[in-house]
């Protein structure tokens, strides 16, 4: 009987500890900036990029969109056609187009430039969600200004 009580006590204490820790874990995972991502529901690289954001503490919500509706969303939100990629996020008033690294999103939110947001045009291999960084091809992250012009925000050399 003593062994049963001891096991039951351990189980109750363990369960209580897990229950108490669960909200803290969820809070920690969603403690970062909230970002809403428009993406094709069948796109694996979009899902991989979203997972990277979530693992870095962003609170991510998604919305399925594709084809002309998704393209219209991009253009209506100031993304020039030559800057488009596969998914589009909105975070704290900025648009994030494509496979933009988390460090660049955080820098944008810290510096707060007067801009539409950031873009990684196309889908460069080795950018976040597009394959191993150790095999990365060179690519640039562009800052898109409100007048439609852009400038290099960060350059990533080939690995």
Closest CA to 80 of 116, 47, 106, 130: 116
Dump pLDDT digits (tens) for 133-154.
Answer: 999 999 999 999 999 899 999 9
> 97 with 74: CB under 8 angstroms?
yes
Residue 15: predicted pLDDT: 43
Question: If you average pLDDT over residues 60-85, what whole number do you get?
Answer: 94
Residue scoring higher pLDDT (144 or 45): 144
Residue 16 has pLDDT above 50, yes or no: no
Q: Whole-structure pTM over 0.75, yes or no?
A: yes
Residue scoring higher pLDDT (31 or 155): 155
Beta-carbon contacts of residue 54 (< 8 Å; ≥ 6 apart): 29, 60
Residue 119 has pLDDT above 80, yes or no: yes
Among 5-19, 60-74, 82-96, 133-147, the least confident range = 5-19
Average pLDDT over the chain reads 86
Q: State the maximum Cα–Cα separation within the chain, in Å, rounded to a whole number.
A: 77
The backbone region for 20, taken as left when phi is positive above 0, alpha when psi lies in -120 to 50, beta otherwise, is alpha
Residue 32: predicted pLDDT: 85
Residue 26 has pLDDT above 60, yes or no: no
Residue spans of the domains in the chain: they are 33-156
């Amino acid at each position: 009987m003593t062994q049963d009580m001891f096991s039951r006590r351990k189980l109750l204490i363990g369960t209580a500890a897990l229950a108490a820790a669960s909200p803290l874990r969820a809070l920690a995972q969603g403690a970062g900036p909230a970002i809403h991502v428009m993406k094709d529901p069948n796109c694996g690289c979009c899902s991989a990029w979203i997972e990277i954001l979530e693992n870095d503490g962003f609170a991510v919500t998604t919305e399925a969109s594709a084809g002309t509706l998704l393209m219209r969303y991009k253009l209506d939100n100031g993304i020039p056609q030559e800057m488009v990629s596969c998914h589009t996020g909105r975070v704290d008033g900025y648009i994030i187009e494509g496979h933009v690294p988390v460090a660049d999103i955080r820098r944008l939110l810290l510096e707060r430039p007067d801009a539409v947001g950031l873009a990684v045009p196309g889908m460069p291999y080795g950018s976040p969600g597009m394959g191993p960084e150790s095999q990365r091809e060179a690519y640039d992250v562009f800052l898109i200004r409100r007048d439609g012009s852009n400038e290099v925000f960060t350059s990533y050399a080939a690995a």
